[in-house]
Structure 1
Amino acid sequence: MPLGMWWFIGICAVWLVAAALLLRSREPAPGDTPDAQTVALLRGGPEAAVTVALVALQQHGVVTDGRPGTVRTNGWATAIREPLQLAVHTTLRRPAAPRTLTTVPRVRRALAALHDRCARSGLLRTPFRWRTARTLLYAVPVTIAVGYVAAPVTAAQVAASAVPVAAAAVLWFVPRRTRAGRRLLATLYETHPLEDHRTVGPRVVMSVALHGDRALALHLPHFARGSGLLRAGRKDRGFPIDERASGGGFGTFGGADT
């Protein structure tokens, strides 16, 4: 029986083992409940984290809705210490549509730092391990296809080659969020259900982090609609982002794969 195709199948097995090891996540050490920006990043990715940062700034009274579909500053953020909130506030020298904020270098760097903290805590897989694993998984069907072209193939080899391809497909759908991250969100959903009445303060920020648009519409209907935070009413209006406020350069970050 020709052995050529078996070599390609064996190489795919190596890719799969390496990808599986890269996708393993360690159990995080017990710690305090993450802040609202971290929770939002876990639930909905970078855009959700920026939305929560805007809500926190609005609760502090330092941002408000501007021209339709935009957000603008409404005071000095002297008491703000959270890096993502500071980056967002600094960016809003001129009114901007909320969805454009994730493209600003200063905000992207703050998001990257937030993602790194989540990865170190074992709540998200690190960008390097995630991208490397997915590259290896992508290589599996490519390697099998090359084997079909380069070597004689028997019926048994065709059947065997389907196994690594199927395994790669399963691993491809492993979420960016780790098991610990999913458990944390499940616990927070139980302890912070969506309230049935409007409130203010830190509870609003965590509610938006967990429940997204439903919490925005409940607690901050005017601000959410006027600023374009609600998905149903978003508009890309406003002045271009002031790049002088962004610090230049382009950071990289990865959003949570929900």
Structure 2
Amino acid sequence: MYRGNEGIAVRVGRLAPQEIALLRGGPRAAVTVAVLALHLRGAVMPEGPGTMSARALDAEAGRTPLEIAVHGALHRPSTPRALARHPEVRLAVARMRIPLAEAGLLRYPLLGPTRATRRAVRALARRHPVPVTRRGLDDHARLLAVALHGEAAWQVVAPRFALRTGLVSRAEVADKGMLKHSSRGGFGDFGDFGD
């Protein structure tokens, strides 16, 4: 097997979005891509603030082992953090690592991405920047965007779902420094702006 950087880049480019996410951001990133895949099929919905749960699916055909594990773990409402720690989900992620390690994309014994793999993932992210809008994106493009760019892509491809389920953090409304001065009249006091 050719182990050069060019070979690594080709192999990374052929991976599924969940595998790319695992290489870019670790297990939790892979799990979030699996959640998005299920959400796009209508199988995962927000349950309450910061939680999500599974809905019944007609068939398991076409789902990855990680998606099957995530769907099974979400029969009870869960937060993203608890979902990533679920034993079945952790086992599915561990099994994902085996072919990646055999392909030379992960180093032993800790199974982190090699330097060449990290470079290849960064190059792939440059070739596929964060989308500006979700219009015209098919499901694979949405999954790839989240796999490569994480929270920045969630803000475009499924912002309400991501916010309601706790997959992205809430944005700060204002700079905390600005809030200190709001008690002196706030937005209604325009005396400082005119003569």
Q: TM-score normalised by the shorter chain: which range applies? A: 0.7 to 0.9
Deviations 1:31-81 (A, max 9, x none): 461001111111111111101110111111111111111111122161343
- 2:117 equivalent in structure 1: 181
More strand by percentage: 2
Q: Which amino acid aligns with 1:224?
A: A
Distance 1:186 1:91 in 2: 31
Q: Secondary structure at the match of 1:40?
A: helix
Q: 1:77 to 1:98 in 2, by over 3 A?
A: farther
* Paired position in structure 2 for 1:98: 80
Counterpart residue number, 2:156: 218
Unaligned ranges ≥5, structure 2? 172-195
Amino acid at match of 2:48: R
3-state SS, counterpart of residue 107 of structure 2 = coil
Q: Does 1:208 align with 2:146?
A: yes
TM-score for both structures, normalised by structure 2: 0.76
Say which is worse superposed, 45-54 or 184-193, in terms of deviation: 184-193
1:12-32 C-alpha deviation (Å, 9 max, x unpaired): xxxxxxxxxxxxxx5457546
SS at match of 2:45: strand
Please point out which of 41, 62, 66 is paired with 1:60.
41
2:77 aligned partner, one-letter code:
P
Q: Deviations over 1:60-111 (max 9, x none)?
A: 1111111111111122161343010110001111111111112111111101
Secondary structure (helix, strand or coil) at the match of 1:72 reads strand
Deviations 1:153-211 (A, max 9, x none): xxxxxxxxxxxxxxxxxxxxxxx321331232133113211111124511111100001
1:83 counterpart (65, 68, 87) = 65
Greater relative CO, 1 or 2 (CA 8 Å, sep 6+): 1
Partner SS for 1:214 = helix
CA, structure 1 residues 60+111, in 2 after alignment: closer, same or farther (shift >3 Å)? Answer: same
Asked if the contact 1:62/1:77 (under 8 Å) is kept, the reply is: no
**CA distance in structure 2 between the partners assigned to 1:66 and 1:43 by the alignment:** 28
Task: Give distance in 2, aligned partners of 1:96 and 1:229.
Answer: 11
Letter in 2 for 1:52: V
Corresponding position: 1:47 with 2:13: no
1:122 aligns with 2:58: no
Compute the TM-score of the two structures, normalised by the length of structure 1.
Answer: 0.58
User: Over the residues paired in the alignment, what is the CA RMSD in angstroms?
Assistant: 2.2
Q: Which runs of 4+ in 1 moved over 4 A?
A: 26-32
The answer (yes or no) to whether the contact 1:69–1:228 under 8 Å persists in 2 is: yes
Q: Distance in 1 between matches of 2:114 and 2:142?
A: 26
- Out of 40, 53, 63, which is 1:72 matched to? 53
8 Å CA contact 1:77–1:86 kept in 2: the answer is no
